[in-house]
C-alpha cells in the first residue's frame, strides 16, 4: 500500500480526490492501492526539561544548563488518536509519499513521525505549489526522491533544538535572576522572539528620547507663460542642520521679505531625467503582510491566515509561505489558462484583461531567482468569490493585481529639477511629467508615490535664463517629527531587512542576502506570541513594548537580543539545508554557547523595577515581593536563612 502523509485534513481530501481515494477510513481516505492520511499540524513536540529528569520540575540555577544527550519527542495529547492511526498505517505501508507543506516545517512534521514509528521503507516527496487539481496532478507526475528533501528535515530539527536550548535555559536563567532581585514574573527568552522584541523596544526608546526641533521653510509661488508652479528656498549651509533644514526663524523671515521685493526669478539651470519603473513583482508572504498592514490594517497573523485560506480552502492562490517573488519560465505557458480562470472567477475583469498584453515577458519570469517556492499568484482554476469573506476577497484582489500588472508596460516619466535665482536667494523646483502610465493604470499605491521626496507637480516649459513671475511667498513653520511607532507590517519588514539595522561592516555584508530574523512561515507567529505574552501591546495599528519587555531587553546579554546574531543563525540553518553543515555540529555549537552564557551570567544581579518593600521584622533586611497560593506577600531578601514575611495590604497591591 502506498501511503500519502499530508499535513492537514483539508489537504488530504484534495489529494485523495485526485488519487481516487474516496472510501472513508479511520483518520484516512482509502483507494485501490493508495491510502491518504493526515496530521493535524505537529502531532509531536519536543519533550520539556522534566522529561529528562525529575530534578528539572523545579527551576534552579544549579540545574542549568539543561542539554539533552538523546533528544526526545512526545505525542501531543490532543491529537494522540490521529498519531495512532498514522502509526498503524505506516506499519502497513510499502511506500510513503510525504505530502505535507513544501517547506522546512512541513518536512519535519512528516519525518519526525517516520522516525518515531521506525518506518524504514521507500520515501518519495510530493512538492506542491498550489492545491487545485491541475497543480496536484502536475506535482504527482514529478515526485521527488525522499533523499532530495531530507536536508530540510535536519534544518528544521536544528531550528527546533536551538530554540529549545535557548528558550528553556535562558528563560529559566533570567526568570530565576529576576526572582532573586524581587521580580515575580516570568522573563521569557527566545532565539527569534527576543531580537524581534528589541526592535520594538529600540523604536519606543527612540520615540521617548526624541526632542522636536523647530525649523522653517519658504515656498515661492511662481509662474511662467501663465502656468503656476512652486519652488522651495535653498537656505545657506551656515543656518541649516545635517538634513538641510533652516533652524533660524529670523533668517527665513528675512528671506521672505527679500524674495517678496523681487518681481521675478531667473532660471539658472535645469536637468531632465527619464525614468522607467517596472511593475512590482508578485508577493512573497512578508511583502503581502506589509501591504495588508498598510492598506487593510490587517495583522501579520491575520494576513497569513487569510492567505492560507485562499490557498487551502478556496484553491484561489498558490502556496502562501513563500520567500520568493519570481516565477519559473515554464509557468509563462500557463498564462492564458490563468487568465481564463480569472475571467470565470470575476467577469467584471473583462475590460481590464482586454488592456493587457499576454506576450509581455517581464522580469518576473526568472528561473535563477526562484527558490523552493515561487511568488504568490492566482491558480489555473476558477474560484468562487461569493464564498470568500470581504477580507479574503480584498487580499485575493491584491494578489491578483500584482500578477496582472506583469502584462502592462513600464510606468515612464520625466523628472525635471530646476534651479533659480531670486535676488540673492537660490530656489529649486522639481516636476514630474508622466509619459506612459503603464501598470499604474491598474495598480496605484499612494504610499509608493513621491519617490523623490518632492511634491508632484507639472512644470511649465522652461529654459535657462527664462524669467518666472513671483506671485506669492509663503513662510512655513514646521517641527521635526518623532519616529512613528511600528505597525505589524513595519515589524515584519524590519525582521526581513535586519541587515539595515546592523552596523558592523562584515556582519552587515553577510546578512545582506539572508532571510533576516525568522522565516516567512514563522514571523507572524513570533509577533503573535509576543502580543499574547504581554510583551507587545497593540493600540489600533501601532505596537508598543510593555514595561516587562523593556525590563527583559535590559537584562539579557546583548548577543541574545541582537538581530544580527539571529540572522546569522538563520544563515547556519540554510547551510544545513544545503548540506554544508551537519545538524550535530550546529547543535553542539549552540549547546556550548548556552553553557558559556549561563556560566557568565548566573551570578549577575539584575536591576529590576521592583516595588519598594518594608524592612524584615526579624533581621531588618530589605523585603522582596513574592507570589504565594493566597496572593502576593513580602518575604525577607535573606530567605531561606531568614523566613520573615509580611502580608501585603489590599490597598497596596498592584492592580
**CATH code of the domain containing 14:** 3.40.50.140
Catalytic residue among 311, 319, 326, 601: 319
Q: Is residue 181 part of a domain?
A: yes
CB of 36 within 8 A of CB of 29? yes
Looking at the structure, do residues 27 and 127 belong to the same domain, yes or no? Answer: yes
Looking at the structure, do residues 123 and 70 belong to the same domain, yes or no? Answer: yes
Residue scoring higher pLDDT (516 or 37): 37
Looking at the structure, do residues 532 and 492 belong to the same domain, yes or no? Answer: yes
Q: Is residue 155 part of a domain?
A: no
- Split into its structural domains, the chain has a count of 5
Looking at the structure, do residues 306 and 264 belong to the same domain, yes or no? Answer: no
Give the confidence band of 369 by pLDDT, cuts at 50, 70, 90: confident
**CATH code of the domain containing 315:** 1.10.290.10
What's the sign of the alpha-carbon dihedral 147, 151, 154, 159? negative
CB of 199 within 8 A of CB of 561? no
**371 three-state secondary structure:** coil
Looking at the structure, do residues 392 and 469 belong to the same domain, yes or no? Answer: no
d(CA 294, CA 492): 12
pLDDT value, residue 447: 47
Where does residue 343 rank: exposed (0-12), middle (13-18), buried (19+ CB within 10 A)? middle
- Supply the range of the domain harboring residue 632: 611-655
Q: What is the maximal distance between C-alpha atoms in the chain? A: 95
Residues contacting 451, CB < 8 A, separation 6+? none
Looking at the structure, do residues 17 and 119 belong to the same domain, yes or no? Answer: yes
Give the confidence band of 645 by pLDDT, cuts at 50, 70, 90: confident
Find the mean pLDDT for residues 611-632: 69
**CATH code of the domain containing 447:** 2.70.20.10
Looking at the structure, do residues 401 and 414 belong to the same domain, yes or no? Answer: no
Task: For residue 125, give the H/E element and its range.
Answer: strand 123-125
Number of C-beta neighbours around residue 24 at 10 A: 10
pLDDT in tens, 417-429: 999 999 999 999 9
Looking at the structure, do residues 104 and 132 belong to the same domain, yes or no? Answer: yes
Looking at the structure, do residues 184 and 134 belong to the same domain, yes or no? Answer: no
Question: Which of 479, 507, 528 is the last residue in one of the domains?
Answer: 479
Q: Is residue 147 part of a domain?
A: no
Q: Is residue 157 part of a domain?
A: no
Q: Is residue 606 part of a domain?
A: no
Q: Are strands 623-628 and 264-277 parallel, antiparallel or unpaired?
A: unpaired
Lowest mean pLDDT among 172-186, 352-366, 578-592, 599-613: 599-613
Q: Is residue 394 part of a domain?
A: yes
pLDDT value, residue 509: 64
Question: Which of 425, 455, 479 is the last residue in one of the domains?
Answer: 479
Q: Is residue 295 part of a domain?
A: yes
CB of 380 within 8 A of CB of 369? no
pLDDT value, residue 609: 58
pTM for the full model? 0.80
Is pLDDT above 50 for 652?
no
pLDDT in tens, 427-459: 999 999 999 999 999 987 654 444 444 567 999
For all residues of the chain together, what is the average pLDDT?
88
Where does residue 486 rank: exposed (0-12), middle (13-18), buried (19+ CB within 10 A)? buried
Whether residue 319 lies in the annotated active site: yes
**49 three-state secondary structure:** helix
Q: Is residue 289 part of a domain?
A: yes
Give the confidence band of 655 by pLDDT, cuts at 50, 70, 90: very low
Question: Which of 387, 407, 427 is the last residue in one of the domains?
Answer: 407
CB of 43 within 8 A of CB of 113? yes
Looking at the structure, do residues 17 and 123 belong to the same domain, yes or no? Answer: yes
Looking at the structure, do residues 25 and 89 belong to the same domain, yes or no? Answer: yes
pLDDT in tens, 455-480: 679 999 999 999 999 999 999 999 99
In the chain, % helix, strand, coil (3-state, to 5) comes to 45, 20, 35
Is pLDDT above 80 for 360?
yes
Amino acid at each position: 500500500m502506498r501511503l500519502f502523509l499530508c499535513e492537514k485534513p483539508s489537504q488530504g481530501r484534495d489529494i485523495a480526490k485526485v488519487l481516487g481515494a474516496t472510501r472513508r477510513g479511520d483518520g484516512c481516505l482509502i483507494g485501490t492501492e493508495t491510502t491518504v492520511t493526515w496530521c493535524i499540524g505537529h502531532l509531536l513536540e519536543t519533550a520539556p526539561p522534566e522529561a529528562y529528569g525529575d530534578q528539572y520540575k523545579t527551576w534552579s540555577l544549579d540545574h542549568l544548563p539543561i542539554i539533552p544527550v538523546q533528544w526526545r519527542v512526545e505525542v501531543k495529547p490532543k491529537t494522540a488518536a490521529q498519531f495512532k492511526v498514522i502509526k498503524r498505517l505506516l506499519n502497513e505501508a510499502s511506500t510513503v509519499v510525504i505530502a505535507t507543506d513544501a517547506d522546512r516545517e512541513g518536512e519535519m512534521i512528516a519525518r519526525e513521525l517516520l522516525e518515531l514509528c521506525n518506518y524504514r521503507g521507500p520515501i518519495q516527496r510530493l512538492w506542491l505549489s498550489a492545491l487545485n487539481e491541475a497543480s496536484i496532478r502536475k506535482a504527482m507526475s514529478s515526485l521527488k526522491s525522499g533523499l532530495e528533501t531530507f536536508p530540510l528535515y535536519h534544518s528544521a530539527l536544528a531550528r527546533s533544538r536551538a530554540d529549545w536550548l535557548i528558550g528553556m535555559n535562558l528563560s529559566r536563567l533570567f526568570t530565576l535572576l529576576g526572582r532573586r532581585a524581587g521580580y515575580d514574573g516570568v522573563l521569557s527568552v527566545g532565539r527569534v522572539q527576543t531580537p524581534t522584541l528589541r526592535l520594538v523596544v529600540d523604536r519606543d526608546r527612540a520615540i521617548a528620547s526624541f526632542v522636536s526641533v523647530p525649523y522653517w521653510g519658504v515656498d515661492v509661488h511662481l509662474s511662467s507663460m501663465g502656468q503656476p508652479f512652486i519652488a522651495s528656498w535653498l537656505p545657506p549651509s551656515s543656518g541649516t542642520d545635517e538634513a538641510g533644514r533652516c533652524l533660524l526663524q529670523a533668517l527665513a523671515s528675512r528671506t521672505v521679505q527679500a524674495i517678496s521685493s523681487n518681481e521675478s526669478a531667473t532660471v539658472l539651470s535645469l536637468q531632465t531625467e527619464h525614468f522607467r519603473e517596472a511593475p512590482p513583482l508578485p508577493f512573497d508572504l512578508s511583502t503581502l503582510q506589509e501591504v495588508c498592514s498598510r492598506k487593510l490594517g490587517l495583522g501579520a497573523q491575520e494576513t497569513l491566515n487569510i492567505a492560507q485560506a485562499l490557498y487551502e480552502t478556496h484553491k484561489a492562490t498558490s502556496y502562501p509561505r513563500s520567500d520568493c517573488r519570481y516565477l519559473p519560465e515554464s509557468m509563462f505557458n500557463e498564462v492564458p489558462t490563468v487568465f481564463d480562470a480569472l475571467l470565470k472567477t470575476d467577469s467584471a475583469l473583462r475590460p481590464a484583461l482586454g488592456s493587457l498584453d499576454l506576450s509581455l515577458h517581464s522580469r518576473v519570469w526568472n528561473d535563477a531567482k526562484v527558490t523552493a517556492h515561487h511568488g504568490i499568484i492566482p491558480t489555473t482554476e476558477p474560484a468562487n468569490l461569493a464564498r470568500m469573506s470581504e477580507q479574503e476577497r480584498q487580499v485575493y484582489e491584491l494578489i491578483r493585481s500584482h500578477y496582472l500588472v506583469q502584462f502592462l508596460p513600464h510606468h515612464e516619466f520625466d523628472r525635471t529639477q530646476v534651479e533659480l535665482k531670486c535676488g540673492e536667494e537660490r530656489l529649486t523646483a522639481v516636476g514630474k511629467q508622466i509619459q506612459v502610465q503603464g501598470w499604474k493604470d491598474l495598480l496605484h499605491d499612494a504610499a509608493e508615490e513621491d519617490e523623490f521626496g518632492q511634491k508632484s507637480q507639472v512644470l511649465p516649459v522652461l529654459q535657462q535664463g527664462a524669467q518666472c513671475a513671483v506671485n506669492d511667498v509663503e513662510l512655513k513653520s514646521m517641527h521635526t517629527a518623532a519616529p512613528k511607532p511600528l505597525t505589524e507590517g513595519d515589524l515584519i519588514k524590519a525582521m526581513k531587512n535586519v541587515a539595515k539595522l546592523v552596523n558592523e561592516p562584515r556582519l552587515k555584508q553577510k546578512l545582506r542576502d539572508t532571510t533576516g530574523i525568522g522565516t516567512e512561515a514563522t514571523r507572524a507567529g513570533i509577533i503573535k506570541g509576543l502580543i499574547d505574552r504581554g510583551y507587545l501591546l497593540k493600540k489600533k495599528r501601532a505596537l508598543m513594548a510593555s514595561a516587562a519587555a523593556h525590563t527583559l531587553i535590559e537584562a539579557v546579554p546583548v548577543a541574545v537580543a541582537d538581530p544580527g546574531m539571529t540572522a546569522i543563525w538563520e544563515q547556519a540553518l540554510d547551510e544545513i539545508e544545503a548540506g554544508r553543515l551537519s545538524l550535530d555540529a550546529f547543535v553542539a555549537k549552540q549547546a556550548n554557547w548556552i553553557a558559556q552564557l549561563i556560566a557568565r551570567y548566573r551570578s549577575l544581579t539584575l536591576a529590576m523595577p521592583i516595588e519598594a518593600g518594608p524592612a524584615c521584622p526579624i533581621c531588618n533586611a530589605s523585603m522582596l515581593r513574592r507570589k504565594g497560593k493566597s496572593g502576593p506577600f513580602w518575604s525577607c531578601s535573606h530567605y531561606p536563612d531568614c523566613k520573615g514575611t509580611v502580608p501585603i495590604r489590599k490597598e497596596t497591591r498592584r492592580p
